[in-house]
Amino acid sequence: MKIASWNVNSIKARLANVVDWLKQAEPDVVCLQEIKTVDETFPSEAFEDLGYNVAVHGQKAYNGVALLSKRPLEDVRRGLPGDRQDDQARFIDALIPTDRAPVRVASLYLPNGNPRDSEKFPYKLKWMDRLIAHAKSLLEQEEEFVLAGDYNVIPTSDDVYDAKAWADDALFVYETRAKFYTLSHLGLTDAFRVRHAEPHLYTFWDYQRGAWPKDHGLRIDHLLLSPQATDRLGDCDVDAYVRGWQKPSDHVPIWCVLDE
Protein backbone atom coordinates (compact mmCIF):
# COMPACT_ATOMS: atom_id res chain seq x y z
CA MET A 1 0.00 0.00 0.00
CA LYS A 2 1.50 3.29 -1.17
CA ILE A 3 0.75 6.26 1.12
CA ALA A 4 1.59 9.81 0.02
CA SER A 5 1.40 13.29 1.52
CA TRP A 6 1.33 16.59 -0.34
CA ASN A 7 0.77 20.21 0.69
CA VAL A 8 -0.87 21.42 -2.53
CA ASN A 9 -1.25 25.13 -1.63
CA SER A 10 -4.91 25.33 -2.81
CA ILE A 11 -6.62 22.26 -4.30
CA LYS A 12 -8.51 24.41 -6.82
CA ALA A 13 -5.35 26.05 -8.17
CA ARG A 14 -3.56 22.69 -8.18
CA LEU A 15 -6.24 20.30 -9.44
CA ALA A 16 -4.68 19.61 -12.86
CA ASN A 17 -1.24 18.99 -11.29
CA VAL A 18 -2.68 16.71 -8.62
CA VAL A 19 -4.67 14.66 -11.14
CA ASP A 20 -1.62 14.31 -13.43
CA TRP A 21 0.54 13.22 -10.50
CA LEU A 22 -2.08 10.73 -9.23
CA LYS A 23 -2.17 9.07 -12.68
CA GLN A 24 1.63 8.64 -12.69
CA ALA A 25 2.31 7.89 -9.04
CA GLU A 26 -0.77 5.74 -8.42
CA PRO A 27 -0.79 6.07 -4.62
CA ASP A 28 -3.39 4.07 -2.68
CA VAL A 29 -3.77 6.75 -0.01
CA VAL A 30 -3.12 10.49 -0.30
CA CYS A 31 -2.95 13.02 2.54
CA LEU A 32 -3.53 16.56 1.27
CA GLN A 33 -2.82 19.79 3.14
CA GLU A 34 -3.62 23.47 2.53
CA ILE A 35 -6.62 22.70 0.35
CA LYS A 36 -7.83 26.25 1.17
CA THR A 37 -11.50 25.52 0.64
CA VAL A 38 -14.57 24.28 2.51
CA ASP A 39 -15.88 20.71 2.24
CA GLU A 40 -18.72 21.70 -0.12
CA THR A 41 -16.39 23.09 -2.80
CA PHE A 42 -13.69 20.43 -2.60
CA PRO A 43 -13.45 18.83 -6.09
CA SER A 44 -14.31 15.31 -4.87
CA GLU A 45 -15.65 14.13 -8.25
CA ALA A 46 -12.26 14.50 -9.93
CA PHE A 47 -10.79 12.06 -7.41
CA GLU A 48 -13.79 9.72 -7.29
CA ASP A 49 -13.43 9.39 -11.07
CA LEU A 50 -9.92 8.03 -10.41
CA GLY A 51 -11.26 5.48 -7.95
CA TYR A 52 -10.66 7.30 -4.66
CA ASN A 53 -12.87 7.64 -1.62
CA VAL A 54 -12.69 11.17 -0.21
CA ALA A 55 -12.82 12.66 3.29
CA VAL A 56 -12.41 16.39 3.77
CA HIS A 57 -11.87 18.72 6.72
CA GLY A 58 -11.95 22.08 4.98
CA GLN A 59 -11.83 25.77 5.87
CA LYS A 60 -12.48 28.91 3.86
CA ALA A 61 -9.34 30.46 2.34
CA TYR A 62 -6.85 28.95 4.82
CA ASN A 63 -5.57 25.56 5.95
CA GLY A 64 -7.80 22.55 5.22
CA VAL A 65 -6.80 18.88 4.99
CA ALA A 66 -8.18 15.85 3.15
CA LEU A 67 -7.74 12.11 2.65
CA LEU A 68 -8.05 10.18 -0.60
CA SER A 69 -8.08 6.39 -0.50
CA LYS A 70 -8.72 3.58 -2.96
CA ARG A 71 -9.69 1.46 0.05
CA PRO A 72 -12.52 2.39 2.40
CA LEU A 73 -12.03 5.31 4.82
CA GLU A 74 -13.48 4.15 8.14
CA ASP A 75 -13.95 5.99 11.45
CA VAL A 76 -13.05 9.39 9.95
CA ARG A 77 -12.19 11.93 12.66
CA ARG A 78 -11.85 15.65 11.99
CA GLY A 79 -9.77 17.99 14.15
CA LEU A 80 -6.89 17.33 16.53
CA PRO A 81 -8.17 16.60 20.07
CA GLY A 82 -7.17 18.73 23.02
CA ASP A 83 -8.50 22.26 22.36
CA ARG A 84 -12.16 22.95 21.67
CA GLN A 85 -11.36 26.61 21.00
CA ASP A 86 -9.14 25.71 18.03
CA ASP A 87 -11.17 26.22 14.84
CA GLN A 88 -8.30 25.86 12.33
CA ALA A 89 -8.75 22.84 10.04
CA ARG A 90 -5.37 21.16 10.32
CA PHE A 91 -6.01 17.49 11.11
CA ILE A 92 -8.04 14.54 9.80
CA ASP A 93 -7.48 10.83 10.30
CA ALA A 94 -9.20 7.61 9.28
CA LEU A 95 -8.80 3.88 9.64
CA ILE A 96 -7.92 2.07 6.42
CA PRO A 97 -8.34 -1.70 6.16
CA THR A 98 -5.48 -3.61 4.53
CA ASP A 99 -4.74 -7.27 3.84
CA ARG A 100 -2.75 -7.23 7.10
CA ALA A 101 -3.67 -5.03 10.09
CA PRO A 102 -5.74 -1.87 9.48
CA VAL A 103 -3.69 1.33 9.39
CA ARG A 104 -4.80 4.68 10.79
CA VAL A 105 -3.61 7.43 8.45
CA ALA A 106 -3.57 11.09 9.48
CA SER A 107 -3.19 14.14 7.26
CA LEU A 108 -1.82 17.00 9.35
CA TYR A 109 -0.87 20.61 8.69
CA LEU A 110 1.20 21.76 11.63
CA PRO A 111 1.18 25.53 12.26
CA ASN A 112 4.07 27.52 10.85
CA GLY A 113 4.68 29.51 14.04
CA ASN A 114 6.26 32.65 12.54
CA PRO A 115 6.80 35.33 13.60
CA ARG A 116 8.26 33.90 16.76
CA ASP A 117 7.33 36.89 18.94
CA SER A 118 3.64 36.60 17.97
CA GLU A 119 0.86 34.42 19.41
CA LYS A 120 1.47 32.08 16.45
CA PHE A 121 4.57 30.54 18.01
CA PRO A 122 2.97 29.38 21.30
CA TYR A 123 0.01 28.14 19.21
CA LYS A 124 2.45 25.97 17.23
CA LEU A 125 4.07 24.56 20.38
CA LYS A 126 0.69 23.82 21.98
CA TRP A 127 -0.48 22.16 18.76
CA MET A 128 2.64 19.96 18.89
CA ASP A 129 1.84 19.04 22.51
CA ARG A 130 -1.63 17.98 21.37
CA LEU A 131 -0.11 15.91 18.53
CA ILE A 132 2.23 14.22 21.03
CA ALA A 133 -0.74 13.39 23.27
CA HIS A 134 -2.69 12.05 20.28
CA ALA A 135 0.23 9.85 19.19
CA LYS A 136 0.54 8.52 22.75
CA SER A 137 -3.11 7.52 22.79
CA LEU A 138 -2.78 5.80 19.38
CA LEU A 139 0.22 3.87 20.71
CA GLU A 140 -1.71 2.89 23.84
CA GLN A 141 -4.56 1.63 21.67
CA GLU A 142 -1.91 -0.33 19.71
CA GLU A 143 -3.23 0.98 16.42
CA GLU A 144 -0.83 0.81 13.52
CA PHE A 145 -0.52 4.35 12.16
CA VAL A 146 1.10 6.87 9.84
CA LEU A 147 1.19 10.57 10.78
CA ALA A 148 1.68 12.25 7.42
CA GLY A 149 1.86 15.89 6.56
CA ASP A 150 3.43 19.30 6.49
CA TYR A 151 5.07 19.49 9.92
CA ASN A 152 6.69 22.88 9.38
CA VAL A 153 9.66 21.43 11.25
CA ILE A 154 13.24 21.20 9.96
CA PRO A 155 14.50 18.27 12.05
CA THR A 156 18.27 18.83 11.68
CA SER A 157 20.79 21.06 9.90
CA ASP A 158 21.00 18.35 7.21
CA ASP A 159 17.42 19.25 6.27
CA VAL A 160 17.97 22.88 5.22
CA TYR A 161 20.15 24.50 2.56
CA ASP A 162 21.57 27.10 4.99
CA ALA A 163 21.18 26.27 8.67
CA LYS A 164 22.59 29.62 9.83
CA ALA A 165 20.02 31.59 7.85
CA TRP A 166 17.22 29.59 9.48
CA ALA A 167 18.64 29.45 13.01
CA ASP A 168 16.00 31.76 14.54
CA ASP A 169 13.06 30.66 12.41
CA ALA A 170 10.05 28.99 14.02
CA LEU A 171 10.63 25.96 11.74
CA PHE A 172 14.09 25.34 13.16
CA VAL A 173 14.45 26.88 16.65
CA TYR A 174 15.30 24.60 19.53
CA GLU A 175 11.82 24.53 21.10
CA THR A 176 10.25 23.38 17.83
CA ARG A 177 12.82 20.67 17.19
CA ALA A 178 12.64 19.51 20.82
CA LYS A 179 8.88 18.94 20.45
CA PHE A 180 9.47 17.04 17.21
CA TYR A 181 12.07 14.86 18.95
CA THR A 182 9.68 14.26 21.85
CA LEU A 183 7.12 13.07 19.31
CA SER A 184 9.50 10.79 17.43
CA HIS A 185 11.05 9.50 20.66
CA LEU A 186 7.71 8.00 21.59
CA GLY A 187 8.89 5.32 19.18
CA LEU A 188 7.91 6.75 15.80
CA THR A 189 10.11 6.48 12.73
CA ASP A 190 10.89 9.21 10.19
CA ALA A 191 10.30 6.94 7.18
CA PHE A 192 12.34 9.06 4.76
CA ARG A 193 15.48 8.74 6.90
CA VAL A 194 15.22 4.95 6.92
CA ARG A 195 15.78 4.97 3.15
CA HIS A 196 17.85 8.14 2.62
CA ALA A 197 20.82 9.01 4.83
CA GLU A 198 22.34 11.70 2.60
CA PRO A 199 21.94 15.35 3.65
CA HIS A 200 20.16 18.14 1.77
CA LEU A 201 17.17 16.36 0.33
CA TYR A 202 14.05 18.51 0.45
CA THR A 203 10.27 18.60 0.17
CA PHE A 204 9.77 22.39 -0.10
CA TRP A 205 11.30 25.14 -2.19
CA ASP A 206 10.11 28.75 -1.79
CA TYR A 207 8.54 30.45 -4.82
CA GLN A 208 10.90 33.39 -4.33
CA ARG A 209 14.57 34.10 -4.88
CA GLY A 210 15.01 31.24 -7.34
CA ALA A 211 14.89 28.70 -4.53
CA TRP A 212 14.05 25.75 -6.84
CA PRO A 213 16.79 26.21 -9.48
CA LYS A 214 19.29 26.94 -6.69
CA ASP A 215 18.05 23.93 -4.68
CA HIS A 216 17.49 26.14 -1.65
CA GLY A 217 15.00 23.81 -0.02
CA LEU A 218 13.73 22.52 3.30
CA ARG A 219 12.73 19.03 4.42
CA ILE A 220 9.57 19.81 6.37
CA ASP A 221 7.03 17.25 5.10
CA HIS A 222 7.33 14.00 7.01
CA LEU A 223 5.87 10.52 7.39
CA LEU A 224 6.11 9.37 11.01
CA LEU A 225 5.35 5.66 11.40
CA SER A 226 4.29 3.64 14.41
CA PRO A 227 6.53 0.65 15.27
CA GLN A 228 4.29 -1.92 13.55
CA ALA A 229 3.98 0.28 10.45
CA THR A 230 7.77 0.65 10.43
CA ASP A 231 8.08 -3.15 10.37
CA ARG A 232 6.14 -3.05 7.09
CA LEU A 233 8.05 -0.12 5.55
CA GLY A 234 9.21 -0.67 2.00
CA ASP A 235 10.40 2.17 -0.22
CA CYS A 236 10.10 5.84 0.73
CA ASP A 237 10.86 8.83 -1.48
CA VAL A 238 10.04 12.38 -2.53
CA ASP A 239 8.57 13.19 -5.97
CA ALA A 240 10.66 16.35 -6.41
CA TYR A 241 10.05 16.45 -10.18
CA VAL A 242 6.60 17.99 -9.76
CA ARG A 243 8.25 21.18 -8.43
CA GLY A 244 9.45 21.75 -12.00
CA TRP A 245 5.96 21.55 -13.52
CA GLN A 246 3.92 24.57 -14.63
CA LYS A 247 2.01 26.24 -11.79
CA PRO A 248 3.59 24.09 -9.06
CA SER A 249 2.91 23.96 -5.35
CA ASP A 250 5.91 25.05 -3.29
CA HIS A 251 5.79 21.60 -1.64
CA VAL A 252 6.16 18.22 -3.39
CA PRO A 253 4.72 14.78 -2.54
CA ILE A 254 6.46 12.44 -0.12
CA TRP A 255 5.41 8.78 -0.10
CA CYS A 256 6.14 5.39 1.39
CA VAL A 257 5.06 1.81 0.78
CA LEU A 258 3.77 -0.45 3.54
CA ASP A 259 4.20 -4.10 2.57
CA GLU A 260 1.20 -6.38 2.64
Using an 8 Å Cβ cutoff, are 212 and 244 in contact?
Answer: yes
CB of 190 to DNA, least distance (A): 18
Which of 164/185 has CB closer to DNA?
164
CB of 217 to DNA, least distance (A): 9
Which of 152/184 has CB closer to DNA?
152
CB of 34 to DNA, least distance (A): 6
CB of 10 to DNA, least distance (A): 3
List interacting residues with DNA (CB under 7 A).
7, 9-10, 12-13, 34, 36-37, 60-62, 111-112, 114-115, 120, 150, 152, 165, 167-169, 171, 204, 206-209, 218, 220, 247, 250-251
Catalytic entry in 109, 151, 159, 190: 109
What are the DSSP E strand ranges found in 2-135?
2-7, 29-33, 53-57, 65-69, 74-78, 91-96, 103-109
Length of the chain: 260
CB of 94 to DNA, least distance (A): 23
Catalytic entry in 28, 93, 150, 190: 150
150 is catalytic: yes
Which of 70/216 has CB closer to DNA?
216
d(C-alpha 238, C-alpha 4), whole Å? 9
d(C-alpha 151, C-alpha 164), whole Å? 20
259 is catalytic: no
Which residues, 6 or more positions from 31, have their beta carbon under 8 angstroms from its beta carbon? 3, 4, 5, 6, 65, 66, 67, 105, 106, 107, 108, 148, 149
Which of 195/214 has CB closer to DNA?
214
Which of 29/108 has CB closer to DNA?
108
Give 150's strand partners: 109, 221
Q: Which of 199, 172, 55 is nearest to 112 (CA)?
A: 172
d(C-alpha 55, C-alpha 77), whole Å? 9
Using an 8 Å Cβ cutoff, are 105 and 116 in contact?
Answer: no
The residues assigned a catalytic role are 109, 150
